[in-house]
Amino acid sequence: MSVDWIKPADRVQALPPYVFARLDELKARAREQGLDLIDLGMGNPDGATPAPIVDAAIEALQDQRNHGYPPFEGTGSFRKTIADWYYRRYNVQLDSEGEALPLIGSKEGLAHLAIAYINPGDLVLVPSPSYPAHFRGPLIAGGEIYSIPLSAKNDWLIDLGSIPDDVADRAKMLYFNYPNNPTGATAPREFFEEIVTWARRHEIVLVHDLCYAELAFDGYQPTSLLEIDGAKEIGVEFHTLSKTYNMAGWRVGFVVGNRHIIQGLRTLKTNLDYGIFSALQKAAETALNLPDHYLDDVQKRYSERRDFLIDRFAKLGWTVAKTKATMYLWIPCPPGMGSTDFALSVLQKTGVVLTPGNAFGEGGEGYVRLSLIADLDRLGTALDRLEQAGIRYA
């Protein structure tokens, strides 16, 4: 029995339905109907967390010193490991005392950063399509979203010249993400140099989500925002261990960059949580110190899946871009079909789960996202089902 006067806050009621929660409902119904689902919807890596990480967690669990509250700002050992990893990967020096903050997964930090810095009515620039936390966090904070449309014609890069000067002058923060979720697009170093110069001119805080930096293929090396001169003065960068190290359920991420921006987020978090369980931070240190051959294996796995699916989709009439990074393919819907209708049709006819592109904002309409989270045999079965159901691009 519901009571009609018990209502959530306006900020919650204003949020659109979260597509992955809706997909969970649809998947549950499909399973009830006996469908064998091949779930390529969420970016939830398949396979086990590497054994050295699990072993480190077990050892840390048995140490009673890890059983109490952790420091709010994370353990000094984990923060130093983050700084050392950043120097090895990007030749960027960080002060682990103030320029690195562990997070309960990067999604939490991306949303909480908006709450820490955005007042009701503040303008936030967000590309469309984009990862939902990039616009939902500012919406929860009461911010006003200015969507920057991305397009295939511009290789899904932000066109800074399309943003009117009066909008840029009013904006307080810009969220962006390359390698990009959901499109798989990558950005050249020159783009990062341009966006830093532009943001400094308009006094905009840059928030870069670099959670797919290690999932790069064919010799491509993504750029860190903090490699760019002056970036640390106006920006921060988020990472997660979920994708690279198969630690999605462990909920470990971190943010690095400008110490003053990070301090604002830390202050908020001291009032909301007690940080990451210390044993998990020990495991995360092990992850960041794994030898490079582990990354090579991960990259090889995803690039093989990418190539296999692009070839199979081509036989069904699709031309799918060969991404240089991420664990996704960004697939155009057949002409005349919207992204929700196409994703639902595929689910109902084949049991294959795809994410409708409009889940990532209006700019994602007309596409679906496919996650490379199954082995080649299972992916082959998925494409066999599409073929048998007569699902083609044309």
Q: Cα–Cα distance between 116 and 262 in angstroms, integer?
A: 10
- Cβ-contact 178, 222 below 8 angstroms: yes
The residue among 143 and 36 whose pLDDT is bigger is: 143
* Tokens 């390529």 found at: 40
pLDDT higher than threshold 90 for residue 26: no
24 confidence band (pLDDT: 50, 70, 90): confident
Please answer whether residues 247 and 53 qualify as being in contact, where contact means their C-beta atoms are separated by less than 8 angstroms.
yes
Of 3.10.20.740, 3.40.50.1240, 3.40.640.10, 3.40.30.10, the CATH number of 51-288 is 3.40.640.10
Can you tell me which residue has the tokens 């992955």? 20
> HSE (CB half, 13 Å, CA atoms) of 258?
18
Band the pLDDT of 35: cuts 50, 70, 90: confident
Alpha carbons within 13 angstroms on the beta-carbon side of residue 362 total 6
Which CATH number describes the domain made up of 10-48+293-388? Answer: 3.90.1150.10
What residues are paired with 328 via a beta bridge?
371
Given this model, what pLDDT does residue 47 score? 84
pLDDT recorded at residue 394 = 79
Q: For residue 27, what pLDDT is reported?
A: 76
Report the amino acid identity of residue 266.
R
If pLDDT is split at 50, 70 and 90, which confidence band does 2 have? low
Please provide the average confidence, as pLDDT, over all residues in the chain.
94
Indicate if 51-288 has the same CATH topology as 10-48+293-388. Answer: no
pLDDT of residue 311: 97
Domain chopping of the chain, boundaries: 10-48+293-388, 51-288
CB of 160 within 8 A of CB of 198?
yes
Q: Which amino acid does the sequence have at 325?
A: A
